[in-house]
Structure 1
Amino acid sequence: MSRIITVTSGKGGVGKSSISVNLAIALAHQNLKVCLIDGDFGLKNLDVMMGLENRVVYDLNDVISGKCEIHQVLVKDKREQTLYLLPACKTLSFQNLDASIMAALIDYLKNDFDFIIVDSPAGIEQGFTYASSIADEAIIVVNLDLATLRDNDRVIGLLLKKGIQDLKLIINKVNLDDIEDGKSLTIDDALDILSLPLLGIVYEDHEMIEANNKGRPVYLLKGHLLHDCFDNIAHRLLGHKRAFAKCKRRGLLSRIFLG
């Protein structure tokens, strides 16, 4: 039976989709069968970030209209053989999506996949409601600024109200120099405000943007710091312990969670 995890955030621009893509690849790299669902209707960007846009033939709207079967919508990743993408549909809105359709979709997928990762729309509108209604677990993605953390405090409350008790935190775009200079909040500040277990830290790096633009997720850059971040996050999600690692900052070595 699948673990169904929604990756969400109360605020846009935190890098939630990048987290979803790279986490899905990292899990698939552990020989797990993973389905990544692009739940951000209207934006439809996961196929581009994964370099799969030319492989998309059908979308969810085609399933609803009876044009194709569910299995025909799934796009197999060209690098990880156990990773599949269910692309979003720009012409379909959540207002026109019957909840029974999503339920049937998940029932079909959960018997065939170890993990179902749902990239939820940012915020707390109807898209968030759909994404959270099908999940058993949630990963909250934040940056180290007060507005983002406060927005996600509300998201956490809504998830708990929906009965999702297994909540974990990923802090993205962490810049150690900004923390040192007092330009951003600290990791401890985020943990104090949100009171969630820390699943991982992902450092700010221009390679992330470049990788997304090239359709080659940063996890594929073996030996890169961000590869290790996502590898460690995947292992923690599987219950494996990951020790502190060393990260260079201003020529010094700082002890901090790597990922």
Structure 2
Amino acid sequence: MGESIAITSGKGGVGKSSTIIGIGMILAQMGYRVCMIDMDLGLKNLDVMMGLQHRVLYDLKDVMDGKCTLSRAILQDKQQDNLYLIPACKTIHIASFQGDHFEEIVQSLKQSFDYVLLDTPAGMESGFLYSIRCVNKAVLVTTLDVTSLQDCDRIIGILMKEGMEEISFVVNRMNVHLIEKGISVPLEEAKKWLSVEFLGYVFDDEEVMRSNNHGTPVVLKRDTLLYSCYYSIVKNMLGERVELPKYKEKSLLQKLFG
């Protein structure tokens, strides 16, 4: 029986989708079978960010409506054999979403996959509420912006109220220079603020946006600092404590040519 984990956030725009792709791909590279579910009902991002948008024939709604079997809606990643995706649907009305049926889908996936990762909508949207009913663990994505941390803290409180015990967080787009200038909240202060398990951080890097726009996740390049960030997050998530990577200033040539 596999494990289901919600990857969520308190607010949008913090890089949650790029984080779930990074986590999912690292797990797959380690040999685990991973299925990601795009739960942004009415929107869809993961298939585009993975370069799979032209292969989408069926989506989550089609499975729930009985238009196709679960297996026919699952897309295999082009780069990583162990990584799969169930895309979201652009045209779903939340009133027609059947939460009980979705729980059955997640349970069925756990029979075939080691990890089922749910990319939930930010905040308190219905997709978020349906998602947390199907998991016993949540990983929150935040930046070191005050509003992002405040919203993240609120979501942690809601998860605790729902009885969830395994809650952790990841800091995305960490900018060392902004911390030094006193613009961003210091990392240690953020840890005290949220007071749940800290898994790691991903440094602010334009390469993430470039990779997402081209459908080529940054973790495909294993000799980079960004890969080390995601790798350490996954290792810590698995309970194998590792040292987090240190920030290294890019040279002029690296900035110009990536």
Q: TM-score, normalised by structure 2?
A: 0.94
Name the Cα RMSD after superposition: 1.3
Counterpart CA distance in 2 for 1:28 and 1:125 is: 29
Residue 100 (1) aligns with residue 100 (2): yes
State the alpha-carbon separation in 1 of the partners of residues 17 and 178 from structure 2. 23
Question: How much does 1:206 deviate?
Answer: 0.2
CA drift of 1:155 comes to 0.3
Q: Is the counterpart of residue 170 in structure 1 residue 153 in structure 2?
A: no
8 A contact 2:59–2:89 mirrored in 1: yes
Q: What per-residue deviation string (whole Å, max 9, x for no partner) do you get for residues 19-38 of structure 1?
A: 01111001000000000010
Residue 87 of structure 1 pairs with residue 110 of structure 2 = no
Give unmatched runs, 5+ long, in structure 1.
Answer: 252-259
Return the alpha-carbon distance in structure 2 between the equivalents of residues 199 and 139 of structure 1.
9
Shift of 1:53: 0.7
Q: Distance in 2 between matches of 1:164 and 1:35?
A: 22
Equivalent residues of 2:64, 2:102 under 8 A apart: no
Deviation at residue 232 of structure 1 after TM alignment? 1.2
Deviation at 1:151, TM superposition (A): 1.0
Alignment partners' CA distance in 2, 1:144 and 1:245: 18
In the alignment, the residues of structure 1 paired with residue 142 and residue 94 of structure 2 have an alpha-carbon distance, to the nearest angstrom, of: 24
Equivalent residue, structure 2, for 1:248:
248
Tell me by how many angstroms 1:250 deviates. 8.7
- The yes-or-no answer on 1:61 pairing with 2:40 is no
Matches of 2:140 and 2:133, distance apart in 1: 15
**Structure-2 separation of matches of 1:9 and 1:132:** 12
Which residue of structure 2 lines up, in the alignment, with residue 203 of structure 1?
Answer: 203
| Residue of structure 2 in register with 1:149 after alignment | 149
Q: CA deviation at 1:123?
A: 0.9
- Partners of 1:153 and 1:217 in 2: CA distance: 28
Q: Which amino acid aligns with 2:65?
A: S
Is this contact kept in 1: 2:33–2:113, CA < 8 A?
Answer: yes
Equivalent position amino acid for 1:130 in 2: Y
Amino acid at match of 1:230: Y
Partners in 2 of 1:176 and 1:192 — Cα distance? Answer: 18
Query: Which residue in the other structure is 2:219 paired with?
Result: 219
Give how far 1:219 is off.
0.6
Aligned: 1:37 with 2:40: no
**Secondary structure in 1 aligned to 2:247?**
strand
Task: Report how far residue 244 of structure 1 moved.
Answer: 4.4
1:12 is aligned to 12
Amino acid in the other structure paired with 1:111? Q
- Correspondence for 1:256: none
8 A Cα contact 2:64 2:98, kept in partner: no
In 1, the alpha carbon distance for the partners of 2:172 and 2:183 equals 15
Aligned runs of 1:66-81 on 2, under 5 Å?
66-81=66-81
Specify whether residues 154 and 231 from structure 1 end up closer, same or farther in structure 2 by C-alpha distance, changes over 3 A only. same
TM-superposed deviation, 1:94: 2.7
* Secondary structure in structure 1 of the residue aligned to 2:246: strand
Distance 1:38 1:117 in 2: 9
Q: Is the 8 A contact 2:229 2:245 kept in 1?
A: no
Residue segments in structure 2 that go unaligned for 5+ positions in a row: 252-258
In structure 1, distance between residues paired with 2:159 and 2:202: 23
Q: Give the whole-Å Cα distance in 2 for the aligned partners of 1:94 and 1:29.
A: 35
Residue 155 to residue 244, structure 1, CA distance change in 2 (3 Å): closer
Q: Which residue of 2 aligns with 1:114?
A: 114
Q: Structure 1 residues 137 and 173, CA, compared in 2 at 3 Å: closer, same or farther?
A: same
**Is the CA contact 1:176–1:249 (under 8 Å) kept in the aligned structure 2?**
no
Partner of 1:21: 21
The amino acid across from 1:93 in the alignment is: H
